[in-house]
Chain A
């Protein structure tokens, strides 16, 4: 399936810094999802977005559903060492997928140094 464009591919940041990553698509989406995956584990859902313009927070995480419905971003504020991992975006397009199939970004590897 088609992959979303997720950037950056990796980030090396210092503890306490803010992190920002985004995903873009060539088609409109009904749903944007953000997951975090630790090594050797399955992805864990962080935030789900269902409406254009929606801004949702989960602790230090904030994500937005772009107004054009073709993009989304995730911010992590005041990073801590346990934020290390791979962050994936995923989306569901009503025009290209049925049955709830998702398209996934390639992931952003976040490394936090003390």
Chain B
């Protein structure tokens, strides 16, 4: 059974704080993704990684960075959280090689006050 886990379901932070969101997958997938989901805007890709230590910007990378030191773990970092980063954050992973089916984690609802 495929499994993507995220470190927190709910998180409340203050403006200016550094925030770490962790994602772990147990499927030995090469590709990992971070999205944010907002009402009316759908799923938007922040960053993705196709290998350890590799990262690529998605559609909305500003204000975020990522880290992938191990194959199974992909971290999203908000260097200085702002209120407009209040959102649902979703992590996903997929295998490389053609199928590209992405499996999602349960999400982290982040509120920045």
Check B84 for interface membership: any CB of A closer than 8 A: no
Which residues in A have their C-beta under 8 angstroms from that of B59? 1
Check B110 for interface membership: any CB of A closer than 8 A: no
Check B61 for interface membership: any CB of A closer than 8 A: no
What distance in Å separates the Cβ of A93 from its nearest Cβ neighbour in chain B?
A: 10
| B interface size (C-beta, 8 A) | 26
SS of A interface (majority): loop
| A interface size (C-beta, 8 A) | 25
What distance in Å separates the Cβ of A53 from its nearest Cβ neighbour in chain B?
A: 18
The reply to whether A44 and B104 form a contact with Cβ atoms under 8 Å apart is yes
The reply to whether A1 and B90 form a contact with Cβ atoms under 8 Å apart is no
When chains A and B are docked, how far (Å) is the Cα of A31 from the Cα of B94? 13
What distance in Å separates the Cβ of A35 from its nearest Cβ neighbour in chain B?
A: 7
The reply to whether B99 and A102 form a contact with Cβ atoms under 8 Å apart is no
A42 is contacted by which of B94, B100, B104 (Cβ under 8 Å)?
Answer: B104
Interface residues, chain A, with chain B CB atoms under 8 Å away: 1, 3, 30-31, 33, 35, 40-45, 48, 50, 88, 90, 92, 99-102, 104-107
Instruction: List 18 extra interface pairs beyond A100-B50, A100-B100, CB under 8 A.
Output: A1-B58, A31-B100, A33-B101, A33-B102, A40-B109, A42-B90, A44-B104, A48-B99, A48-B101, A90-B102, A99-B31, A100-B94, A100-B96, A101-B45, A102-B100, A104-B42, A105-B42, A106-B42
